[in-house]
Structure 1
Amino acid sequence: MKRSHIASHTIDRKFEYVKMLLWRGLSDMIRRDAVRQNDGPMITLYWKCDLPQFIKNNHTKYTILGHRLIASWNGFLPERLRQDLI
């Protein structure tokens, strides 16, 4: 048997799915908390964490929007507009 075929049998797909659901649920809860508290730097941090997922899943629209947000927040915009954005 090929090595990749043997490795695919050792992965517990249900456990991986439950871990992914738990991670996304907790992530959604802390994001909602950051939005309710109007915590701009934390929301930007979550966008940074989401960029690899957007790229991996080929979500180009969200990748572009996230990149623009992060670039604007890190100095692309003038100070007054950056403060308004945050």
Structure 2
Amino acid sequence: MILKPTSRKERGATVTKGFKLQSSEAKIKVEAITGGWKEFNRSQNTRLLYILKGYASAEVEGKESIVEPGMVLEVPPDTPFRLSGQIEYFSVRV
């Protein structure tokens, strides 16, 4: 399924969604974040975020780090996390 890009405000961040594909094994999507923080809920699956463009601060389990293009951020199951900055990423839940 390919979706038209949509934008919404979330905790001061503008979140733009590109496309989303979902099956019983994985959920794949592309999003962009501009400014503010985007908080992610806990997931029963491991999340892998491949950073496509931009730079952001990522906070996972209380530890903050900078992510940049080409990096992969792995978030374990049942772990909340958040991103801040100007970034575009590809997300996979497995």
Q: Please give the TM-score of this superposition, normalised by the length of structure 2.
A: 0.23
Q: Please give the TM-score of this superposition, normalised by the length of structure 1.
A: 0.24
Relative to its length, the structure with more helix (as a share) is 1
Of structures 1 and 2, the one with the larger relative CO (CA 8 A, separation 6+) is 2
Relative to its length, the structure with more strand (as a share) is 2
Q: Which of the pair has more CA radius of gyration? A: 1
